[in-house]
Chains A and B, each alone.
Chain A
Amino acid sequence: MEKLKKNKVWQGIPASPGVAIGKAYLLDREEIKIKEEKLPPGQIQKEILRFKKALHEAKKEIVKLKENIAKKLGTEQAKIFDAHLLILEDEVVNQQVFNGIKEEKKNAEFIYSRIIQKTIQAISSTKYEYLKERVADISAVSTRVINRLLGLKQHTIEPLRTPGIIVAHSLSPGDVVQMKKESVLGFATDTGGKTSHVALLAKSLGFPAVVGLKGFFSKVRSGGKLILDGDKGEVILSPDDVTLKSYELKREKLLERSRSLLELTALLAETQDKRRIELSANIELPSDVESAVENGAEGIGLFRTEYLYLASSDLPSEEEQYQIYSSIAQRVYPQNVIIRTFDMGGDKFIHDPERPYEPNPFLGWRAIRACLDLPQVFKIQLRAILKASSLGNLNLMLPMISSLEELLKTKEVLEEVKVELRAKKVPFDEKLKIGIMIEIPSAALEADSLAKHCDFFSIGTNDLIQYTLAVDRTNERIAHLYQSFHPSVLKLIKKTIDEGHKNNIWVGLCGEMAADPKAIVLLVGLGINELSTSPLAIPQVKKVIRSIEFKEAQKFAEEVMRLNDSKKIEKLLEEDYYRRFGSENFSKI
């Protein structure tokens, strides 16, 4: 009897992270045999209609899948099926099918599959990896249409009797969408690439997966034990006990990490004595929203809109902006989204081949100043935001406010846009809240009067520190003078919080300090209401908040504020931090 070879390792392409250990469940799909049939006379129109009907039904199925995924993962991921719809409705291919049926008088599935094969061959022979992976999408769509034509049921992932790892020659996005966590531990395919839609869906839905194993399918016995390592892109057949043990350990560690993250996201960010701090996420791209949600963000505390202007040399249109703002608002609803208006150099606004020279861009014509000088352009962004606000969860935030005048002027411009929209009967949130970034010292010093005319403050510590200490942190010679905990900075933060509260508005902080574990106790003690950080930092910040008492934090803040030396303050913060948390692996993100 042949001794089973143990620990046979197959190298494929890592498609989705995680470890799966279980029995192989072979998905054996019979190849559809397409017969070439001559049409009886007078049947040509009927055949063309039959093909159109198949397209129509396939479209319904794809639209349904798209809605399914949109619900589970949001509209960004559902765009995968937009690509499928484009393929389905390709007018050149479909016209070729109509012509083929008419001229050759043959059945639709034969003509169609022949054209598809030609297309697939042409695309497979190009050098583009990204293009080649679309072959999988073309296959998926054409299979769907052919199944409709032949009256075959669309393949489903049958509910597995016991949990297992699916092994197949290839899978379609529709297959991945149907997988259930209770029965599918992961999957491995012969075909596919890292950026194929199947890989992307596996990642989003959380199934460990390895693709591109080339020939693996034929070597696996159904029911055989497998280890699948989605990070390395390896599948191990018939693992021995040692390998099994070490992988079981690895899997436990990974599960523990994601479980504790999941548990943490379910808990509130509140101190031991029940003071609530809102923890939100800073994002730059719509795709960051997923990470924000995963890490338990209570909303988007800062959506930087600059990337919209960086992606192209032209100004983004109102429609483009509206689409992006409203899709984020919908994805995160009922949580809030704070959209910060354009915060870059004014030269991005104007098509001036001789860009006005900015000797001091940092202190120059940028952000709200440029916007107020170019109201027609500013209104484009304001209009898009207002239109996207109808769900009621959008807030506006203005960068680089240095005086009350700027805030009031902006509100005037905003009111003009509102009047226009009302006249056109375009709905928007009449109660849209407006907040300002406190990042310029003059704004912090005038916080009292500013607070009377806006709904919230968000302290931008990165710039506040630079402006207050007159330090450009990118200048290596003096970067060491950038001290986040300089007493002057702390005084401005405290003043901002106190005066905001005096006027009954909430005060948040969206600079790097919000993610610095040793700054949390101080900030909470000073009375901060909200902290907005990069999504990955949220769990840690929450852990710190949950382990302290507000009353204690207030006393600690008083102690810190009595000091007048940066070094002493930093030392105190570090000592307090290590006293509380020891050397746990809280690291600054």
Chain B
Amino acid sequence: MIEKKIQVINRLGLHARPAALVVQKASKFKSEIRLIKDEDEVNAKSIMSVMMLAAEMGSFISIKAWGEDEAIAVEEIAKLFEEKFGEE
């Protein structure tokens, strides 16, 4: 299992478009991937679940992955957050 903690830094937070980017990226990997915010843990491959996380700017998210490609999965998803999803 690999875990990485990142912060949501784009102004509008994890709204619809970034959520879709996360889900599309996560779905490419074989591993089981979860996003955790405070007490909520959601499946990163489910658009509805990721949207409901409603993670606003400043919130901290843990990315967890289990599987053969867990390392690269976590890395690439973390990158999306770090690059502010191409916004701004």
Contact = CB atoms under 8 A, between A and B. Distances in A.
Interface of A: 82-83, 86-87, 90-93, 119, 122-123, 126-128, 130-131, 133-134, 138, 311-314
Contacts of A126: 52, 54
Interface string B50-82: 011010100000000000000000000001001
Q: Can you list the 4 inter-chain pairs with the closest CB atoms, starting with the nearest?
A: A92-B46, A312-B83, A130-B15, A126-B54
Contacts of B56: 127-128
B83 A311 contact: yes
A91 B32 CA distance: 12
30 contacts: A83-B16, A83-B20, A86-B20, A86-B24, A86-B47, A87-B47, A87-B48, A90-B47, A91-B43, A91-B46, A92-B43, A92-B45, A92-B46, A119-B48, A119-B52, A123-B51, A127-B56, A128-B12, A128-B54, A130-B12, A130-B16, A131-B15, A131-B51, A131-B54, A133-B16, A134-B16, A138-B48, A312-B86, A313-B83, A314-B79
A123 B47 contact: no
Interface in B18-61: 20, 23-24, 42-43, 45-49, 51-52, 54, 56
A122 B51 CA distance: 10
A172 to B, nearest CB: 16
Contacts of B23: 86
Contacts of B49: 90, 92
A320 to B, nearest CB: 10
B34 to A, nearest CB: 11
Contact of B52 (A123, A311, A312): A123
Contacts of B16: 83, 130-131, 133-134
A335 B81 CA distance: 37
Contacts of A87: 47-48
A128 B55 CA distance: 10
Contacts of A83: 16, 20, 47
A127 B17 CA distance: 16
Given A86-B20, A86-B24, A131-B54, A92 B48 contact: yes
For chain A, what secondary structure do more than half of its interface residues adopt (helix, strand, loop), or is it mixed? helix
For chain B, what secondary structure do more than half of its interface residues adopt (helix, strand, loop), or is it mixed? helix
A313 B84 CA distance: 9
A90 B86 contact: no
Contacts of A82: 20
A203 to B, nearest CB: 17
B45 A91 contact: yes
A393 to B, nearest CB: 26
Contacts of B20: 82-83, 86
Contacts of A123: 48, 51-52, 54
A128 B46 contact: no
Contacts of A119: 48, 52
B46 A93 contact: yes
A126 B54 CA distance: 7
Contacts of A93: 46, 48
Nearest to B88: A311
Contacts of A122: 52
A93 B51 CA distance: 13
A93 B50 CA distance: 12
Contacts of B12: 128, 130
A93 B48 CA distance: 8
Given A119-B48, A123-B52, 7 more contacts: A82-B20, A86-B23, A90-B49, A92-B45, A92-B49, A130-B15, A311-B83
B10 to A, nearest CB: 11
Nearest to A197: B16
A128 B13 contact: yes
Contact of B17 (A130, A311, A314): A130
A127 B15 CA distance: 10
B15 A90 contact: no
Given A86-B23, A131-B54, A314 B48 contact: no
Nearest to A130: B15
B46 A311 contact: no
A83 B45 CA distance: 13
A314 B81 CA distance: 12
A298 B23 CA distance: 38
A277 to B, nearest CB: 36
From B12, B16, B56, residue with most partner A Cβ within 10 Å: B16
A86 B26 CA distance: 12
Contacts of A311: 83, 86
A313 B82 contact: yes
Contacts of A138: 48
A128 B24 contact: no
Contacts of B84: 312
A175 B43 CA distance: 31
A122 B46 CA distance: 15
Contacts of B86: 311-312
Contacts of B47: 83, 86-87, 90
B76 to A, nearest CB: 10
A417 B79 CA distance: 28
A123 B50 CA distance: 11
Nearest to B43: A92
Contacts of A314: 79, 83
B39 to A, nearest CB: 15
A42 to B, nearest CB: 31
A94 to B, nearest CB: 9
Contacts of B79: 314
B33 to A, nearest CB: 12
A83 B22 CA distance: 12
Nearest to A82: B20
Nearest to B87: A311
Contacts of A92: 42-43, 45-46, 48-49
Contact of B15 (A86, A91, A128, A313): A128
A314 B78 CA distance: 13
A577 B87 CA distance: 43
Nearest to A115: B48
A123 B20 CA distance: 15
